[in-house]
């Protein structure tokens, strides 16, 4: 905890909040510089994909109607496949979210009687109804006769390899690996862990599909799951890869036959990946991908600043400021529902869009608990622009993600700390 015996009793809450944030930022300057330096490696891969596929202005336009033979869509798919290290990709504005893309992938691969296993514990809230863990009669995987099981994580948040080995004694069609922590208190799954577990699974059951929910993980590490053995991945365009420009959409990528199966669920059997217009929005998707390495780096710098600031005040954080990261999400255990509301309210007030709004806990489609969410973003739901949300359930964790530039995070943090002190929920250190 940052404190000082040389207190300035007269210092304003804003001055003390600013001093704390700036001190943490200064301490983290070498790590931030390393994040910035890593942008070039990822951008080089993206530029190579653009060059290899001969991307030109003619690919910004799209066809109308069925979209048969849309050159822009086809180039987009090939570029993303190269960037993700996949045999094939399908990038579609018709995916309304990452959850939609994941659902299409699961329904594309799984058939009645198949067995699905999650090895990262209970999946993210929005997948519970897709699988059939909540809700009835909506056409979930369980409704269609898919057998579901899950392996809990070890107490330290690592994968339980012993439980996985026991589960592999029975035939399994698909194993789900959720890369990001979601709304759970655990480390994200690293690329090295994904590589090791895919090798372990394929050694026992070569035909088992290793599927990775890749949301919030893209471009955080140097490699992506398809490059290290994952058979199929899915994610959202209004998160990392959209670079804050994509107006909607999602993607699936991996082995060609599996990607096509997912596309058959998005469109129809026999149409698959051959249909769908891009609404003349291909430029935004390509430009967003070009900007994505920089946006992701800034979001990671912001996440580490959030972690360092709240850790300095004595709050548990996950991951810790210096920990290895495989996604954008930073969790802070505030332990108090009022503190959640105060922080989210302050972040919303520092948003470029809807700063005047007061985020209040409310039900949200796909979630089991009421959520309080700060997300004044230009693209609705583009949490990678900078957002914070929290399910109103114990231990009252705040989940912060995104940030187009670190200065925005600094300003939002200062405002949140001031609000917490004014509400008598935190005592900011005095420095002298």
At 431, the pLDDT band (50, 70, 90 cuts) reads low
- Average pLDDT on 28-35 reads 97
Any bridge partners for residue 46, and if so which?
none
Per-residue pLDDT tens digits for 84-100: 999 999 999 999 999 99
pLDDT over 80 (residue 327): yes
Helix (H, G, I), strand (E, B) or coil at 217: coil
Can you give the pLDDT at residue 363?
84
Can you give the pLDDT at residue 222?
95
| d(C-alpha 332, C-alpha 398), whole Å | 5
* Residue 234 neighbours by CB under 8 Å, 6+ apart: 98, 101, 102, 104, 105, 211, 212, 213, 214, 215, 250, 251, 252, 253, 262
What domains does the chain contain, in order, with CATH numbers?
13-39+292-422 (3.90.1150.60), 43-289 (3.40.640.10)
Cα 155 to Cα 32, 47, 198, 231, 397, distances in angstroms: 30, 41, 22, 28, 18
Per-residue pLDDT tens digits for 99-133: 999 999 999 999 999 999 999 999 988 899 999 99
Per-residue pLDDT tens digits for 127-166: 999 999 998 889 999 999 999 999 999 999 999 999 999 9
- Average pLDDT on 49-73 reads 96
Q: Which of 2-6, 138-142, 187-191, 297-301 has the lowest mean pLDDT?
A: 2-6
Can you give the pLDDT at residue 205?
98
Per-residue pLDDT tens digits for 267-325: 999 999 999 999 999 999 999 999 999 999 999 999 999 999 999 999 999 999 999 99
Long-range contacts of 268-273 (CB under 8 A, 24+ apart): 273/77, 273/90
Per-residue pLDDT tens digits for 237-248: 999 999 999 999
pLDDT over 80 (residue 394): yes
Can you give the pLDDT at residue 165?
97
Q: Which two tokens stand for residue 295?
A: 């946006």
pLDDT over 60 (residue 6): no
Cα 73 to Cα 64, 88, 165, 277, 379, distances in angstroms: 12, 13, 41, 8, 21
Helix (H) and strand (E) counts in the chain: 11, 12
Mean pLDDT value across the chain: 94
At 362, the pLDDT band (50, 70, 90 cuts) reads confident
Reduced 3-state DSSP string for 339-380: HHHHHHHHHHHCCCCCCCCCCCCECCCCCCCCEEEECCCCCC
Q: Do you know the residue count of the chain?
A: 432
């Amino acid at each position: 905890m940052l404190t000082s015996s040389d207190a300035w009793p007269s210092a304003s809450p804003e001055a003390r909040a600013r001093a704390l944030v700036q001190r943490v930022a200064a301490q983290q300057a070498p790590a931030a510089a390393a994040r910035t330096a890593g942008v070039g490696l990822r951008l080089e891969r993206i530029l190579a994909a653009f060059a290899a596929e001969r991307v030109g202005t003619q690919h910004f336009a799209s066809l109308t109607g069925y979209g048969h033979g849309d050159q822009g869509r086809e180039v987009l798919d090939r570029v993303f496949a190269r960037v993700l290290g996949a045999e094939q990709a399908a990038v579609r504005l018709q995916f309304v979210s990452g959850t939609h893309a994941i659902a299409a992938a699961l329904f594309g691969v799984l058939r009645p009687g198949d067995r699905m296993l999650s090895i990262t514990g209970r999946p993210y809230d929005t997948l519970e109804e897709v699988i059939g863990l909540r809700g009835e009669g909506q056409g979930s995987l369980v409704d269609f006769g898919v057998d579901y099981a899950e392996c809990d994580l070890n107490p330290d948040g690592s994968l339980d390899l012993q439980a996985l080995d026991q589960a592999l004694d029975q035939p399994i069609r698909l194993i789900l690996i959720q890369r990001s922590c979601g709304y759970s208190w655990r480390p994200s799954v690293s690329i090295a862990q994904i590589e090791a577990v895919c090798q372990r699974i394929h050694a026992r059951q070569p035909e088992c599909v290793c599927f990775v929910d890749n949301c919030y993980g893209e471009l955080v590490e140097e490699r992506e799951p398809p490059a290290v053995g994952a058979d199929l991945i899915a994610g959202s365009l209004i998160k990392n890869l959209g670079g804050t420009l994509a107006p909607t959409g999602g993607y699936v990528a991996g082995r060609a036959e599996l990607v096509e199966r997912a596309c058959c669920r998005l469109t129809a059997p026999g149409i698959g990946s051959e249909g769908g217009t891009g609404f003349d929005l291909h430029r935004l998707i390509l430009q967003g991908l070009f900007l994505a390495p920089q946006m992701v780096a800034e979001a990671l710098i912001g996440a580490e600043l959030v972690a360092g600031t709240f850790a300095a005040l004595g709050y548990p954080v996950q991951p810790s400021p210096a920990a290895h990261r495989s996604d954008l999400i930073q969790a802070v255990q505030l332990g108090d529902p009022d503190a959640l509301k105060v922080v989210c309210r302050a972040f919303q007030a520092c948003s470029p869009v809807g700063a005047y709004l007061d985020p209040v806990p409310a039900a949200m489609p796909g979630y089991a608990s009421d959520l309080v969410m700060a997300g004044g973003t230009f693209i609705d739901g583009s949490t990678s622009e900078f957002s914070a949300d929290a399910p109103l359930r114990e231990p009252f964790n705040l989940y912060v993600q995104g940030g187009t530039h670190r200065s925005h995070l600094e300003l939002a943090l200062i405002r949140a700390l001031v609000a917490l002190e004014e509400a008598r929920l935190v005592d900011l250190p005095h420095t002298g």
